[in-house]
Amino acid sequence: GEDVEQSLFLSVREGDSSVINCTYTDSSSTYLYWYKQEPGAGLQLLTYIFSNMDMKQDQRLTVLLNKKDKHLSLRIADTQTGDSAIYFCAEIPGTSGTYKYIFGTGTRLKVLA
């Protein structure tokens, strides 16, 4: 099917690391993205990874890609209360000629003080 899967909820304590997981659908997807949505707001592009990479680090964010298992993860180091939000992974399937993204169901991250 064409479902990009994510767990619905994650709760962590402030200062701990958060790991949000995603299983995508199309092994030919070239670009994979992570978005953040704060309450009542649009989606904010956080980071992305090309399919020819295994890992990408951007300040507190680390993206890991396992192409064999079609598994993508986002690690947030030193999680802060401001990181509380919904996180979406997204892929552009290789067959998409119009940059039609497929979004995951979203993971709601709650950071406990």
Partner 1 sequence: SQTIHQWPATLVQPVGSPLSLECTVEGTSNPNLYWYRQAAGRGLQLLFYSVGIGQISSEVPQNLSASRPQDRQFILSSKKLLLSDSGFYLCACTGGDRGYEQYFGPGTRLTVT
Residues that bind partner 1 (CB under 8 A): 30-31, 33, 35, 40-45, 48, 88, 90, 92, 98-101, 103-106
**H/E element, 73:** strand 71-76
Residue 54: CB minimum distance to partner 1, A: 19
Report the C-alpha gap between 52 and 75 in whole angstroms.
19
Residue 79: CB minimum distance to partner 1, A: 21
Residue 106: CB minimum distance to partner 1, A: 5
The amino acid that residue 96 corresponds to is S
Residue 98: CB minimum distance to partner 1, A: 6
Residues, the chain, total? 113
**Phi, psi for residue 81 in degrees, rounded to 5:** -60, -30
Q: Is 95 exposed, middle or buried (0-12, 13-18, 19+ CB in 10 A)?
A: exposed
Residue number with CB closer to partner 1 (45 or 77): 45
Residue number with CB closer to partner 1 (44 or 57): 44
